[in-house]
Chains A and B, each alone.
Chain A
Amino acid sequence: MILKVWGARGSVPAPGPRMNRYGGNTSCLQLSLPNGEELILDAGTGIRNLGLELAGRRRIHILLTHLHLDHIQGLMFFPPCFRAEVEIVIWGPASPEASLEERIARYISAPLSPVEVRELPCSVSFRDTPASEWELGGATIRAESVTHRGPTLGYRIACGETTIAYVPDHEPALGAPLAGLEPEWISGFDLARDVDLLVHDCQYGDEEYPEHVGWGHSRLSDTLTFAQRVGARRLLLFHHDPLHSDERLDELGVDARRSWRALGRDASEIEMAAEGAGVEVEPAVPAMHA
């Protein structure tokens, strides 16, 4: 599987000369499966640039973790939406209050938008993620609710022997000491258990977190503890705070690698997500038996 980052920013787009390397677009990942199929994870502003590259695609699946604006804002400007021959399927969390389409249409409708969902030239459908795992484009997908503000999913995606977890907005340590807690009581644990790559919220440095407890995001040390507890082989730190410049994110990356080594792990297993970067995800090398 190849994962490409089209937007790594959290909360709100943060363009500007001090943000150029990590990028200012909000959450969007493109997951290319070995069979040529593709899945799009979230539709933040990064999806606009991705859409320009999908000129030949007729069928597109988008998996939304939740409907906060930084995860759907790019939908209205996603070029395939304006091509009649394209079929787009949007997956997201169910709600007892309104359908996924109705909830997304609150944004893609007047006065916030110049077009209504029903006016989009493409054929678009909306589906609640099933309660159990399902198949999509040759991958097996599982969605589970995780600790954030409002109904929010994380995804576990397996294709062949390779598995990734995508949990961009997550505060598993809220009211819960991650280091000592039993796995069954840790939000997102089963989603991320033993994955080859974990893409996880790391919005705050540890010193920033006390002012943001309960905001739905993780500090660096909690992200690392979570990754260590679930046994993730590699970790991509994601959902960068809009206040964090390239310089600040470089520092956070240094801190992350230092702390990861202190946990007895290899610093090369950690990366800071940067817009435009691709990550090749490979399965664990099977253990040698004597």
Chain B
Amino acid sequence: MAIQQSQKPLELILARNLLTSVSTPAFLLDAESAVVFYNEAAGALLGRPFEDSGRMSAAQWTGAFGPFDGDGTPVEVDSLAVTDAIRAGRPAHGTFEIRAADGERTAVEASAFPIVASPNGASGAMVLFWPLDRNEPTR
């Protein structure tokens, strides 16, 4: 009874359903830190809907959208809060800049929390973006 093992774990399916329904820009990552979904609000922030992006590996994502530090230097995937969140199975919070499809950079605060449903570790993470008002000092 060979079945393709393509289906996402239920907790990721439910997380996607939730993110679809909220107006906070939000991303869903799988266990390999690939972006497997982002919602309409995130699409508006990036200037590109998820339907046009599809699944993006961590490298594809950082190449296209960042993040960058305050000086505009690209931030390594391995040093991202969300990478920690998935690997260590704990939440993380960070501030950085992303670059939208039109090249404009936006400062965001990001909260990442792992999605853990089995003893084998996180099956992914949800990342919520909070765009910062440029006039507001970075917290």
Using a CB–CB cutoff of 8 Å, the interface residues on chain A facing chain B are 131, 133, 140, 142, 144-147, 156, 158, 163, 174-176, 183-187, 189-190, 193
Contacts and interface: CB of A to CB of B under 8 A. Distances in A.
B59 interface: no
B16 interface: yes
Contacts of B17: 174-176
Contacts, number: 47
B124 to A, nearest CB: 13
**Chain A interface SS verdict (over half):** mixed
B10 A146 contact: yes
B4 A147 contact: no
Given A158-B1, A184-B7, A184-B8, 6 more contacts: A147-B10, A175-B18, A176-B17, A185-B16, A190-B6, A190-B7
Interface string B5-21: 11111100110111011
Interface residues of B, number: 17
A133 B17 CA distance: 27
A212 B3 CA distance: 33
Contacts of B8: 184-185
Contacts of A131: 118
Contacts of B4: 190, 193
A176 B3 contact: no
Contacts of A145: 9-10
Given A147-B10, A185-B8, A185-B16, A190 B21 contact: no
Contact of B1 (A140, A147, A185): A140
B3 A190 contact: yes
Given A174-B17, A175-B17, A184 B6 contact: yes
Nearest to A140: B1
A187 B13 contact: yes
Interface string B107-128: 0000000000010000000000
B1 A142 contact: yes
A176 B13 contact: yes
B7 A133 contact: no
Contacts of A193: 3-4
Contacts of B10: 144-147, 187
27 contacts: A133-B1, A142-B1, A142-B3, A145-B10, A146-B10, A147-B10, A147-B14, A156-B3, A158-B1, A163-B1, A174-B17, A175-B21, A176-B13, A176-B16, A176-B17, A176-B20, A183-B6, A183-B7, A184-B6, A184-B7, A185-B13, A185-B16, A190-B3, A190-B4, A190-B5, A190-B6, A190-B7
